[in-house]
Structure 1
Amino acid sequence: MAAGSSNFRLCDVVLDDTIGRSTPDVEHERAVAIFDLIEENSFEPVGHSGGPYRLYLSLVDSKLMLAIKSEAGEDVATHILSLTPFRRTIKDYFMICESYYEAIRSATPSRIEAIDMGRRGIHNEGSQTLMDRLQNKIRLDFDTARRLFTLICVLYWRG
């Protein structure tokens, strides 16, 4: 984050009950994804003077709703994001993650590294799609987009 941009960050991420609960493993992964996102991010709703911000995520008609509030709870903006452009990427990401976890058990280090490079490439693709979809709404740096895409993936994961 650039100096002076500390007001353009998330201080909290809340999953609405519409997201649903899952297995303890999935809940743990969601908590880790939220922690990582809050720990380091750059999040600037276009046209707003500064936060920090609270991000409320919910599902509405199979779309992701991002409700942004100030730290004090005042409404800043709400964006509804179709998840359709992410479905194929998320599916591919889960498939390659399965291959990665299987490879860890028995594959050569070079094979594990090759699969991991593919996994990171698919994750980067999803992160870029997220940045593109939020363009003109929310400015994110690439690392924040990666963390937010991880959270979106974990929302799909059933364990």
Structure 2
Amino acid sequence: MDEGPDPFRLVAIRLDEASIGRGPPDAEHERAVAIYDLVEENSFRPIGQPPGPYSLVLSIVDKRLVFDVRSANGAPLVTHVLSLTPFRKIVKDYFLVCESYHAAIRTGAPSRIEAIDLGRRGMHDEASELLRERLRGKIDVDFDTARRLFTLICALHRRG
């Protein structure tokens, strides 16, 4: 018997335009892919909220990360505000590694590209676990959802 789609999932995500600027083409592509992948497959369970599906607006307000969780039709459900302080160093380091990675793609040897990419993925994994920890008790997300959300958090940091 088919029970239908999981109600604890995101069906729409938007980055607050006031919080972001246009980034370089690589960043814009990464942002679009993360949103697409996130909507296609995710596990998103706001604690204490009725079953979804949900939509999410991500923004940065007063140097804080805002998760504005809404019903699929846009009705506000809950807003969680997280300090960005625990993310500052890893986001900064992640950007540096990403810059090295993109430079290596243009000029580097395959072994160098692989080594940098391995480091980039490791940092992304570390940041994803940090995000899951910071959301604990507010929103339950699986590891892959946290990874894609971290990509979007980076997009919010990257101003044009």
Instruction: Normalising by structure 2, report the TM-score.
Output: 0.88
1:54 maps to what in 2? 55
Q: 1:67 to 1:123 in 2, by over 3 A?
A: same
Q: 1:114 to 1:156 in 2, by over 3 A?
A: same
After TM superposition, the structure 1 = structure 2 runs for residues 51-90 of structure 1, keeping only pairs within 5 Å, are 51-90=52-91
Task: Write the letter of the residue equivalent to 1:85.
Answer: P
After TM superposition, the structure 1 = structure 2 runs for residues 1-159 of structure 1, keeping only pairs within 5 Å, are 6-23=6-23, 25=25, 26-158=27-159
Q: 1:71 to 1:80 in 2, by over 3 A?
A: same
Aligned partners of 1:124 and 1:89: how far apart in 2? 11
Paired residues, number? 157
Q: Is residue 21–residue 27 contact of structure 1 (8 Å, CA) maintained in 2?
A: no
Shift of 1:5: 6.5
Task: Calculate percent identity across the aligned residue pairs.
Answer: 58
Task: Write the letter of the residue equivalent to 1:138.
Answer: I
Aligned partners of 1:135 and 1:77: how far apart in 2? 15
Instruction: Normalising by structure 1, report the TM-score.
Output: 0.88
Higher mean C-alpha deviation, range 146-155 or range 17-26: 17-26
- Partner secondary structure for residue 154 of structure 2: helix
* RMSD of aligned Cα (Å): 1.9
Deviation string 1:17-66 (CA, Å, 9 cap, x unpaired) is 33133257354543332222112111000122310001012222111111
Aligned partners of 1:111 and 1:30: how far apart in 2? 25
Q: Which has the higher contact order (CA 8 A, sep 6+)?
A: 2
